[in-house]
Structure 1
Amino acid sequence: MYVYKYYPQYEESMALCEFENIFHEPYEKYFFTDYDYDYKRSVFIKERLTIFKESNDPKEIIAYLNDAHLYYENFKVIFYKNDEVHVPYEERLSLCHRLSEPIAGTTKLHEPDVELAITKLNNIYYFGLLERNRDWHRYEVKPHSYSHSLPLKVARCALNLGVGNDISQSIIDPCCGVGTVVLEGLAMGLNIRGSDINRWVSYKARLNLEHFGYDPLLIEKKDIHDIKEQYDLCILDVPYGVYSNCSVDDQLLLINATKSFCKRLVVITHENYKERIASLGFVIRNQCMYKRGNFARYITLCEVEK
């Protein structure tokens, strides 16, 4: 069971788009599937419950535990509260106590190493291993950054939208700035590298990679038009004229340039260029949006038209 959470005001579009791209099913906040997805890749998956036993009667789960001979060091059994079913406190407390008794090992009530959880949805109790997604923002504070750097949630969404379930793809970020997308891709275990035409910016990006223990040479100073290697995917956050003059035509030239080294593209733009991107010979596969205040980012997945 994967638990999705997001802020509807400005993240809903990204969360639903990512969900559809990963699971290929209609969105559910509490989503049950046999697919084992690396939940740490997504900023919208807050918890994952690996289900050991399910039943409409908690006694059956206790009987399962009596036969399973589970052993954990420093574990805790909790009742996972959800938004759909309310279970009274005393009932929750009693159930967790009864579930803990058959499990061998040592308990730890504060900051346990292992969390086992039971929850109730649609009159069914689900018991299993609970994992929380807490570390996705560990690269948020970088030694070198600037005010208009790509938000981490947008970077992760763009990567997940482009990669889907194939993490073996080779990825390039040809306007990488201070390396936000590259850092997040490396944290997700992806095969990614970056470049930037600005010598000083690419230097700061290399310092950011080195600070977090990655090979700084994964980022180099290079003009997008000089990229000769072929990649499976390109993530392009186009410059939009905050620190330099970059007109709409200039931005479209950068988008069009990616066709020489990549056939699949996730492009991030300040305005909705969907029709203009299509006019360049791309097929639009999906699009979502992130907006805070008056500043919007459009995340568009497209492929070179065959």
Structure 2
Amino acid sequence: MEISLSNQQKPAFIYTYVCNDEERSLCRLEMRSFFGKDDASNILTSSIKIDPNRSPFMKERIEVLYEGNSVEDILEQAATLDMGESTFKVQFAKIYEPAPNEKIGYQERLKIERDIGWKIAGEADMKNPDQMLCIMPLKGKWYFGKLQKSEPIWLHHVKKPREYSTALSTRVARAAANIAVPHPEGIKAIDPCCGIGTVLVEALSMGIDIVGRDINYLVTDGSRENIAYFGLKGEVTTGPISEVTENYDAAIIDMPYNLYTHATPEDQLSILQHARRFAKKLVVVTIDTIDDMVEEAGFQIKDRCVARKGVFSRQILVCE
């Protein structure tokens, strides 16, 4: 069922986020890539539509239908909503921002859900509704709309036929792909040091037009196997980055650093210089500080974050 927005001055979408302290810097960089802004809270409003399944941190998206100064305002507007043949369920947002000094208890939240449900024309279904609807307070206002919860698709990609102990986690890989290509339409991307394809799997699963390449034929074989294992299709070639001849809108490079393919500073600079030759934008993941090297290669660092896991950390640089 399609429900159109009734008032364009309100935010078109509200996104809620969940991340731990180690992920917060990465989460906010992904926010900025999607929306051009971030928010220190777990709630962000925007007119930009993003599928919540893309982000490893996004919990849900609310497509706003009604806005009011009180629950009563929402009740009045909900009375005009006709769900037709679609069943529905009303849910109070799991993550919300009440007005200062105003705590909304569990029983009160249930009452609000019931009251709104009675106002809507249609059949409620508490177990398997066709459409989830959501109400939430935010910055002194109340919002009501269509709810889409995220599905942790990247969790299905954790266990691969071929793995490297030093490969990016699926969460970091997915976020890196989103940071490089937040809006995929018309964008061509490349991972020229793709390893076993952790970034490729995440990017391809989100519909990003990306190809992979690596100098090591053993890992490109593994990358192809991993991509096929998840029912995805993507081109992976074997060869040095110096032989890349096509131009791309974005490149994602996880700097090689494991025992077999550790890149020397000279290697790193060469990789960056070649990336500058064929890519307009570069997202580079590195365990080393390479700011000077990035600039020497002809890029400017436009944004950055640190992704931590215990004592281990990676820098993620957005370069243009």
TM-score, shorter chain, exceeding 0.5: yes
Which residue pairs with 1:38 in the alignment?
51
CA distance in 2, matches of 1:140, 1:112: 30
CA distance in 2, matches of 1:242, 1:286: 29
Amino acid at match of 2:66: K
Give the alignment partner of residue 19 of structure 1, picking from 31, 36, 57.
31
1:234 aligns with 2:251: yes
CA distance in 2, matches of 1:32, 1:128: 13
Q: Show CA shifts across 1:140-181 (max 9, x none).
A: 222221211111222222222222435421001011111111
SS of match in other structure, 1:158: helix
Answer yes or no: is the 8 Å Cα contact 2:166–2:258 preserved in 1: no
1:284 aligns with 2:296: no
| Runs of 4+ in structure 1 over 4 Å off | none
Amino acid at match of 2:151: R
Answer yes or no: is the 8 Å Cα contact 2:80–2:120 preserved in 1: no
Distance change in 2, residues 1:245/1:101 (3 Å):
closer
Decide which moves more: 245-254 or 179-188. Answer: 245-254
Which residue pairs with 1:265 in the alignment?
282
1:191 aligns with 2:209: yes
1:95 aligns with 2:112: yes
CA distance in 2, matches of 1:252, 1:180: 23
Distance change in 2, residues 1:70/1:245 (3 Å):
closer
Give the alignment partner of residue 170 of structure 1, picking from 176, 185, 188.
188
Which residue pairs with 2:11 in the alignment?
none
Cα offset for 1:74?
Answer: 4.5
Answer yes or no: is the 8 Å Cα contact 2:205–2:232 preserved in 1: no
Which residue pairs with 1:201 in the alignment?
219
Answer yes or no: is the 8 Å Cα contact 1:4–1:30 preserved in 2: yes
Answer yes or no: is the 8 Å Cα contact 2:16–2:95 preserved in 1: no
Percent sequence identity is: 33
Give the alignment partner of residue 263 of structure 2, picking from 209, 227, 246.
246
Q: Show CA shifts across 1:224-257 (max 9, x none).
A: 1111111111111111133344322222222222
CA distance in 2, matches of 1:36, 1:166: 13
Distance change in 2, residues 1:122/1:172 (3 Å):
closer
The two structures have a TM-score, normalised by structure 1, of: 0.90
Distance change in 2, residues 1:26/1:144 (3 Å):
closer
Answer yes or no: is the 8 Å Cα contact 2:276–2:297 preserved in 1: no
Give the alignment partner of residue 152 of structure 2, picking from 128, 131, 135.
135
Which residue pairs with 1:56 in the alignment?
69
The two structures have a TM-score, normalised by structure 2, of: 0.86
Answer yes or no: is the 8 Å Cα contact 2:96–2:136 preserved in 1: no
What is the number of equivalent residue pairs in this alignment? 301
Distance change in 2, residues 1:215/1:26 (3 Å):
closer
Amino acid at match of 2:74: I
Cα offset for 1:279?
Answer: 2.0
Distance change in 2, residues 1:281/1:87 (3 Å):
same
Q: Show CA shifts across 1:26-80 (max 9, x none).
A: 5243222222223332222211111111212323322322222123644321111
Which residue pairs with 1:214 in the alignment?
232
SS of match in other structure, 1:202: helix
CA distance in 1, matches of 2:186, 2:121: 39
Decide which moves more: 190-199 or 272-281. Answer: 272-281
Answer yes or no: is the 8 Å Cα contact 2:204–2:233 preserved in 1: no
SS of match in other structure, 1:71: coil
Structure 1: runs of 5 or more not aligned = none
Amino acid at match of 2:36: H
1:181 aligns with 2:194: no
Cα offset for 1:300?
Answer: 1.0
Q: Show CA shifts across 1:245-272 (max 9, x none).
A: 4322222222222223223211111112
